Each structure stands twice: as C-alpha cells, then as structure tokens.
Amino acid sequence: MKSRGDLTWRMTKFVFVTGGVSSSLGKGLTASSLGRLLKSRGLRVTMCKLDPYINVDPGTMNPGEHGEVFVTDDGGETDLDLGHYERFIDESLSKMSNTTTGAIYSNVIAKERRGDYLGKTVQVIPHVTDEIKDRIRRLGALGADVVIVEIGGTVGDIEIVPFIEAIRQYRRDAGKNNVCYVHLTLVPYLAPSGEQKTKPTQHSVTELRSRGIQPDIIVCRSDQPISDTLKRKISLLCDVPIAAVISAVDAPSIYDIPVTLHEEGLDRIVCETLDIEVDEHPIDLAAWTEVVSRVHSTRRRLRIGVIGKYVSMPDAYLSVAESIRHAGFAHGATTDIEWIDAERVPSDYNAEYLRAFDGIIVPGGFGERGIEGMIATATIARELELPYLGICLGMHVQVIEYARNVLGLLDANSTEFNTSTSAPVIALMADQLDVLDKGGTMRLGAYPAMLKADSIVAQLYGTTVVSERHRHRYEFNDRYREQFELHGLSCCGNSPDGRLVEFVELPGHPFYVGTQAHPEFKSRPDRPHPLFDGLVAAAVNRAEGREPHIISEEALSVSP
C-alpha cells in the first residue's frame, strides 16, 4: 500500500473466473456474489465479461437463443450477465465491462489497416492477447480496488483459447499477488452408484493447467454439499489448499448465493490470495441478509403474466423477471410469473384466462410477430382494470390499442409493422433524428425525462426528473399527442425539450402505465424499480380486494 499525498493508493487487484465441464453452471452468479462479498468488505469493485463469440456485441443476436441484451447507461449493448453484476454489486457499469472476440478482432484489424503495427506480422500472440489485456487494464485504471473478470464459455472450447492465454500472461504483468484465478466446475451426483464424482473437476483443472493456469480456488457446483473427504481429494489431485475448495450447492434463490459462498470462505481465500488484509476489511452483510430475509418471508402469492415474443427462452426477459421479484420482496409477496406467447392471445389465452392474473406486463421486443396478441392484451387489461405495465414495445401496443378502440383510428399502427398505415401513432420520425444520437437511428443508453407533477409515475418515482435506459427505434408520434390527451390517455412524461413522449398513463385505472424506456435494467433486490413497485402494489390491491375468480375448465385446459 502506497500513499499519494493525503490519499491512499492501492494497487488494483484482478480476479479471473473461468468455468469447466459444462456451460450454465453459474459463473456469472458466482462472480456477482463474490463482487457483493468484496464490496461488503468495503472494497471498490467493478466487473467485466469476456465473451468468446465472434459477434461484435449481443445487439444483433436473437434473444430467443442468447437471452436478453442488457443496456448500460452509456449505451452499451451487453451480455445479460452484466445485469447480474449490477444487481449484486449495485454499481452502474459501462460498455467497457463487456468485450467479445468480434470486438477484439475488429480493433486489431483496424489497427493493422492504419499501420499501427508498423508492418509486422499480426498474430494471436502478442497482438490479440495484448488487445484483451489492454481492455482489462483500462477497466482497472478507473479506480476500483478489485476487478472481477468472467471468461465466457468453458475451458477446452476452441473460442476461449486467446482469452485464457491473455489472463495467463496477466499474472506475470500485474504481479503474482495481484491476480487470483477462480475455476468453477461440476461435481455431479450419480444415482446408480450413490456417489458424487470428482473426475469431471479433475479433467477440467487438467485442461486449465495445460494452458498454463493453476487455479487458486476451485468452486464446486453440485446439488448437494461437497463432503470434507471429497474436498481433500480435490485438493490433493488439483493442487489447491483444502480451504480453497468451495462447495457451491444449489441454493433456494440466487440471492442466497453470496451468503452460502461466504460461509464456505470464498471471499476470505480471495483476499488472502490477493494480499488484502481481511482484518482491515471486516465484512458487513447486514444489508444483504435483509434482502435474503425478505426473499424467504413472503406472506402472499401473486400471479403475474408476462405476454411477450420470446417466452420460450425466459432469459430473454431476465431483468424483467428479476424486477418483478424485487418488487414482490418489498411487498412481502412471492410472484409466480407465467410466460404467455403473445401469438396465442386471444385465441388460446382469452379475457377470461387473463383476468385471473393479478398483474400483466408486456415487455420489449422487435418485429411484427405477436403484435396483435399484445394489442388484445392491452385491451383486456384496460377494460377489465387489470394492472398493466407496458415496457418499450409494451407501451407502443398500449398506444396503438387506445388509438383504435378509443380514438376511433381503426387503422392505427406503428410504421415498424405497417409502413402504409393511415394513422402512424408510433413512427420513426425524421424530424427527431437529431436527438437519436446513439446507435444511429436507435436510442441507446440513459436519457432524462420530465414528469408531470400530478402524475401517477411522478408519485411512484418521488420526483419529476428521472433518467432511464433506452433501446428502441420507434417513438410515440407527437402529431397525435393532443388527441390522446383529449381522450384521456395522459402523456405524463416527456423528454426535456418536450418532443418525445417517454411515459403514458390512464388516470382512474388501478394501474395502466407505459414507458418508452427499459426500467428493468435499474432495479435492485433491495431497491425495486418504482414502476415495478407500482405494478406489484396494484396487483396486491387487486388480489386482496376482489372476489377470487374461478377459471373455467376450458380455460384451464390451455396447454403452455
């Protein structure tokens, strides 16, 4: 530890999290949980995801295959794991926190074309690995005490090799005591033999060591605790201390994971590896244990329907689902989420079926598929006074539905779906392109909005000036604003210059709110987003204040 004047300067430490045996073991949640533990020790923490796919970023990837695109304040379209990072460490990250193979190679090739390499032969080592290390180094220069870097994919994948080589070199560059390698593996239970097997872990560690990295810590995922005997076996065969073999057993909820890993000693071993004095940084998990307490002390159950385009892949709406749960925790409610394909509304899921929900959300998306089902959902929610939150596309369908059924504009539509509509209430308007300055014609990242002081949304936020993250191309058509206002739909939030409608609401309805933004990206487990909080509050009122609705046998027979 060195001193710069009256400021304390600490060498930035780096933790690299890799995975083996199988994908989807939970590297992102393990890294996020570690970040929370280190932050709870008073350390400044930031995080990064290195993804091996060749796409430049997830922005053009199919959410039904890859999951949601998480958006940062500065307009980065990133991997969904950044959502876990932000929710757990409660820090706003940037586009610097997600790097892909595509972005790395794009930059290396651009440098070669400019002559930055002075005509040298451009190779994976050192040019590609240097580019990877440079991005990690720049993130570390922002002032964090610890940078946690998750490597996507699985050790042994061909795509991951340059990243593994780069982080191998990083310990030499940064110094032995400034780098910690955490390797996540699977310890499966084989029912026929009645045993947990360590062989997959051994093979995974052998593969990692063949690339020059000896893990400092092995985190063992399993469906039951790892015994001390197995820990000793893994310790011996993988050459790590017994205390550095961490049992990461399946948890009741993802929010239990930090507590579980702390009890296993993960954060202490990481600090010891990085020469961080644990006595100087005692842990305070009071705030997080309060979250866990809320998770497990709910008093009621709510049914929330999410009507969307990508429901066959719930990770496409991961942040939406977590935001619903956060609001549920705050109201002492377990929120049972039912995923409904918008294409099956109202043919399979009609008004009788949907009215049994306590609340409805129509989330974002692109393209025409399922739009008429979403519009039908908005009609049902409006007419049956069913609490409804429209997010981005969900607001668009609210506006289209209201224009058709209340304003009498029967041909109302968005030019995204019908370029020849006579009533383009949602459109990409040329006179607004000068404000769409992120991502070409797409609004990406955080934008401010001014709320009407007497609006429902202003009451929810507790302020009239807010900032939310966006990811969309089409806007509310300002030419129709006066008609909507005259017919009761309030344009209650607007851009500071008044040109863009950011929020709509229907006064007198229990909760009928839409936003052009993606509020789900800013919700936290101990601080639910105001809009989700408002929806769940209305859902609680509906559940407690109405006669239980009995669904007919015919409606109940609908297959998922």
* Residues 90-147: tens digit of each pLDDT: 999 999 999 999 999 999 999 999 999 998 999 999 999 999 999 999 999 999 999 9
Q: Which candidate, 477, 21, 5, 378, places its Cα nearest to that of 234?
A: 21
At 494, which amino acid appears? N
Same fold, 2-292 and 298-545: yes
Cis-peptide, bond into residue 63, ω within 30° of zero = no
- The whole-chain average pLDDT of the chain stands at 91
Distances (CA, A) of 472 to 55, 181, 438, 475: 20, 38, 10, 8
* Residues 19-28: tens digit of each pLDDT: 988 877 889 9
Q: Return the higher-pLDDT residue of 435 and 140.
A: 140
What residues does each domain of the chain span? 2-292, 298-545
Active-site annotation, residues: 392, 518, 520
370 near 343, Cβ under 8 Å?
A: yes
- 176 Cβ partners below 8 Å, 6+ apart? none
Position 546 scores a pLDDT of 62
Q: What is the DSSP letter of 127?
A: I
* Residues 499-530: tens digit of each pLDDT: 999 999 999 999 999 999 999 999 999 999 99
Q: What is the SS3 assignment for 524?
A: strand
305 near 354, Cβ under 8 Å?
A: yes
pTM for the structure as a whole: 0.91
Helix ranges, 318-367 (H) = 318-330, 351-354
Least confident window among 111-120, 425-434, 483-492: 425-434
Return the CATH number of the domain spanning residue range 2-292.
3.40.50.300
Domain 298-545 CATH (choose: 3.40.50.880, 3.60.20.10, 3.40.50.11750, 3.40.50.300)? 3.40.50.880
DSSP states of 178-194: GEEEEEEEE--EETTTT
Kindly state the average pLDDT of the residues 287-297: 94
Kindly state the average pLDDT of the residues 294-298: 93
